[in-house]
Amino acid sequence: MSALTAHFLVGPTASGKSAVAQYLALLGHPTRPILAADSMTIYRGMDVGTAKPEAADRAAVPSFGFDLVDPDQPFSVGDWLAAVRAAAPAIAACGAPPIVVGGTGLYVKCLTEGLDSAPVDPAHRAAAEALLNAEGLAALQAAARALNPAEFAKLRDPENPRRVVRAYELLAAGQPLPVVEERPRPKLAGLALPPDELRARIARRARQMFAYGLVEEVRALRAKYPTLSDTARHAIGYAEAARVLDGQLPEEEAIRLVAVRTGQYAKRQMTWFRHQADVVWIEVGPRDGIERLAGKVQAVWRTHGPAALRLDPAT
């Protein structure tokens, strides 16, 4: 369907991806569009707790992938890819390859490798994706294996969340697993920080979220949306802020828990990218400001070129 190509910038939360991508987008002539590959910034009204770029920054460059759905609505990986597909003409009209920036591995994966054409049963796929989001890949693997251990044993690349989601829905429907054709993975640029520095950044961000009004944001969301989707309700920061509102948790303890959960999430992100993508990692050092990091990212992009976006369903 689409001949779009893009440069990717991935990495864990709080690694500085968005700031570097914004800097690089503004360097382009014409200004390059940004496509956010982030499963939390899709929600309208969830700004502080998702560290969504400021409205002025999003207005300064053509921005896509933000504010796609109300937080009381379910939203799958397939829904996200459909939104990108619908935006493809506007992205192409910008006249420059987009910069895909984010840390949601499944979103990156479906852009570079495609997504299965249609669910065997939407309820099975939704259940698999909800389990993956809530409890992680190991829990989804166990659930799929329990459905049909012999058939699950045939799954190639069981560390690939997209394939485990597909396996779950097929096995839940009583169908065999398909034969999957392997394709080479594109080279992606990624930012990586020393663990101590990343933990420090995460701790600062957690405190800033509450200082910048996360509790008030949750209060407003509750007033507008009486029932949030499971993903939005359990999002890091939002669950803790809701407990602060309900008098169940002191704010200082909420900040600590947000930092802990975010650190665990960042670790899962790094594990995912190291196993499920071909990333050229750029180690962020103490002297690496945005301009210097942008130069390093550009060097990776020049060496390896852009990646083709696979917006059609995988075969």
Residue 100, H or E segment: strand 99-102
Task: With beta carbons less than 8 A apart as the criterion, state whether 39 and 231 touch.
Answer: yes
For residue 60, what pLDDT is reported? 97
Residue 217, Cα to own-chain centre: how many angstroms?
21
Question: Using one digit for the tens of pLDDT, what is the confidence trace for 235-261?
Answer: 999 999 999 999 999 999 999 999 999
For residue 315, what pLDDT is reported? 38
For residue 118, what pLDDT is reported? 54
State pTM to two decimals. Answer: 0.82
In terms of C-beta density within 10 A (0-12 exposed, 13-18 middle, 19 or more buried), how is residue 176 classed? exposed
For residue 119, what pLDDT is reported? 57
- Structure tokens, 88: 């493809």
For residue 195, what pLDDT is reported? 96
Single-letter residue type at 42:
I
- Which residues, given as ranges, of the chain have pLDDT below 50? 1-2, 315
Its sign, for the CA torsion 224, 44, 76, 139, is negative
What distances in angstroms separate CA 10 from CA 16, 90, 190, one per listed residue? 10, 23, 5
Nearest one of 160, 126, 131, 162 to 146, comparing CA atoms: 131
For residue 121, what pLDDT is reported? 76
Nearest one of 44, 53, 122, 39 to 81, comparing CA atoms: 39
Task: With beta carbons less than 8 A apart as the criterion, state whether 37 and 101 touch.
Answer: yes
